[in-house]
Copies of this chain bind each other. A is one copy, B any other.
Amino acid sequence: MPMSTRIDSAIHAALARTRTGGSAPAKLSDALPYACTPGGARIRPTILVSVALACGDETPAITDAAAAALELMHCASLVHDDLPCFDDADTRRGKPSVHRAYSEPLAVLTGDALIILAFETLALSAASHPARAAALVALLARQSGMPHGICAGQGWESETHIDLSAYHRSKTGALFIAATQMGALSAGQDPEPWTELGARIGEAFQVADDLRDALSDETETGKPAGQDALHCRPNAVAELGVDGAVTRLKDILSGAIASIPSCPGEAALAQMMRMQAERLTPAFARTRARV
């Protein structure tokens, strides 16, 4: 089974549990899969499954649950980030954002229900290895909540003085650290040595996103462009210029590949990382880097 099919099946199985067993509110039922599709690159669960495979993937059902949980948490954060009180984004994934398509109350509830479903998905995979499932819950919570997860990242945007390093690490890095750590843990390995790889991928992703936000248009990304400048948010392009940001992106990605811990599937994982790096680098930036 191709990895993308494996990941989509896992997300689909998790979402299907929200539609079983009697009467449920129809609009909220529909908003949950709406918020998670179309999937796009599914980059976080792809990294998670790749790391698990590199570590032997001894309990694939737990890996699948972890991949789905991570993507559900990511989708939840996008739904809440798009709300009128944050980015007020009309579009996401090339279609109306959840609060535009359904309503603002349903968008708040969609995010809440997806967060809860993420943890439920992990807990329900616990039959064979309950300690591993509980550790995955703790790990996902740590990278999602306060004081250092994605909630903290968004929280920094309400502060007058922003700790930039903490801001970037929480806002973008946290779920990539979750991806590499949860991948290792799903396969029964110590997650700690995988932290650096996740952190470096997160940095790369942030710079790539900054480049995309500053230079591309809505047609290409499926979401409004220029949001960082509009909301006065810190941005690598503003700090380093376009060429400087492209150079930094390449340096970070090289460092990420070099940081892969020794494991049975190390070479294949490095190859996957190179492919993701190509994907991460916006087309115009690749052209520019060749000049």
Chain A residues in contact with chain B, CB under 8 A? 18-29, 32, 76, 80, 83, 85-86, 102-106, 108-109, 111-113, 115-117, 119-120, 122-124, 126, 130-131, 133-135, 137-138, 141-142, 144-149, 151-152, 154-159, 163, 166
Contacts and interface: CB of A to CB of B under 8 A. Distances in A.
A198 to B, nearest CB: 17
Contacts of A141: 116-117, 119-120, 123
Chain A facing B: main interface SS: helix
A145 B158 contact: no
A24 B166 contact: yes
Contacts of A111: 108, 112
Nearest to A106: B158
A119 B145 CA distance: 10
A147 B20 contact: yes
A145 B120 contact: yes
10 contacts: A23-B147, A27-B158, A28-B152, A28-B158, A108-B108, A109-B154, A115-B115, A116-B146, A122-B137, A126-B134
A144 B116 CA distance: 7
Nearest to A122: B137
B154 A105 contact: yes
Nearest to A141: B120
A29 B158 contact: no
Contact of A145 (B18, B23, B133, B147): B18
B21 A116 contact: no
A178 to B, nearest CB: 12
B147 A123 contact: no
